[in-house]
Chains A and B, each alone.
Chain A
Amino acid sequence: MQAHHDAQILVLCALCDGPLHGYAINTAIEKMTGKRLGVGSLYGALTRLEAKGLIESLEEVARTRPVHLTPKGRQVVEQELRTMARVAEVGLRGLGVEPA
């Protein structure tokens, strides 16, 4: 369950800059984390996010189907990132490290 959630958050973050297709999403995730998602995990996350109404598929472009964040998706990713930032701040302060 947690793995599904993590993959979904990564996909949502990758889409913050604008619409992307599957391969480009994975490249953006690799830039953020240093690791690519497995193809099954990536398309599983995309299917789940679309079912929840957080992302939407656009018209096919050159036989690829880009996806973009919906307003609800934007709201959810913003809320998740704020929570993660708060957790990181508290954790780093506990370790005596200045937050970046």
Chain B
Amino acid sequence: MSVTRTLLRLYPASVREHWGLMLETDAQSAGWRTWPNLVAAVVDMWLHPVIWPAESIRHRRHRAAAMALVVTVTIFVIGRAAAASDSTLTRHSHVWTLTDCALLMSCGAILILPLPRTGRQAVTTLLRKAATLVVPLSIAVGSLVFAWGVGRAELSSAQPWVATCFWLALAAAAVLASRIVWTTVGSVALTPPGPARLHLGFAVLITGGALASWITLSAAVRGGRFDPMSALTGACLLALTFTLVLTLNDLRRC
């Protein structure tokens, strides 16, 4: 397979299918000089799921909610990693702690959750969908329960294999949760949040993400020393929060 074709396969499916052969022919005829531009465009498209070709504005709202949930799960995992390496981040020596941010972001996540529809067809579709997701869902819940149990013990003093299992379980839960969220996009069984609820949810998530970034970044320069790990974590949280801002901005424009 040619490099151009490989790059085109990295596009979100709906964009690829919508422009189809026209995009492929143009990219093939432009040759290798267009590769950097294609890479930038692919990254740009994945950062803006709201603008992908969609059947309706409802579909776009559903994608925005899915994007926000995936970003929130990622922020949770990174925040958990930061808290495990620096316990002061969750201690009440600050006005806000990462635990408070997690609670705030949980509220935001609840606000943007798509709701199940009523009606026989919707319920049947939802049950069928749930049946296909029962295995990944069980693994995700099991991983979270395991991670919660291990997380309550002091990780630094735990056996290395326990710590490894903890991070693997948390990562598996995050990946599966994100996958479940994306597979339900556009489902007829779910109603995406209304514009007001979605905007409020995004505002809460952005506030929570910005606070978590600020706490982590301020910990990087605490006590006259510079902690590169906290700085990197803070920068990651800030970048993820920025993707939420981008999605909110796209929602306003579309």
Contacts and interface: CB of A to CB of B under 8 A. Distances in A.
Contact of A38 (B15, B41, B60, B254): B41
A26 B26 contact: yes
Contact of B254 (A22, A23, A42, A51): A51
A42 B26 contact: yes
A39 B50 contact: no
What secondary structure prevails in chain B residues at the interface with A? helix
A32 B22 CA distance: 22
B51 A40 contact: no
Interface string B192-211: 00000000000000000000
Contacts of B54: 51
Interface residues of A, number: 22
A39 B38 contact: yes
Contact of B23 (A43, A50, A53): A43
B23 A22 contact: yes
A41 B27 CA distance: 11
Nearest to B7: A40
A64 B38 contact: no
A-side interface mostly: helix
A13 to B, nearest CB: 19
Contact of A47 (B21, B25, B53): B53
Interface string A50-86: 1111000100000111000000000000000000000
Interface string A3-39: 0000000000000000001110010000000000011
Contacts of B34: 38-40
B37 interface: yes
Contacts of B39: 40
B195 to A, nearest CB: 16
Contacts of B40: 40
Interface string B10-41: 00000100111111011101100010011111
Given A38-B34, A65-B20, A43 B25 contact: no
A23 B25 CA distance: 9
A22 B22 contact: yes
A43 B15 contact: yes
The 10 closest A-B pairs by CB, nearest first: A40-B41, A38-B37, A51-B51, A40-B37, A40-B38, A39-B27, A51-B254, A64-B22, A39-B34, A63-B21
Given A23-B22, A64-B21, 20 more contacts: A22-B23, A23-B26, A38-B30, A38-B41, A39-B27, A40-B34, A40-B37, A40-B38, A43-B15, A43-B23, A43-B26, A47-B18, A47-B19, A48-B51, A51-B253, A51-B254, A63-B21, A64-B22, A65-B18, A65-B19
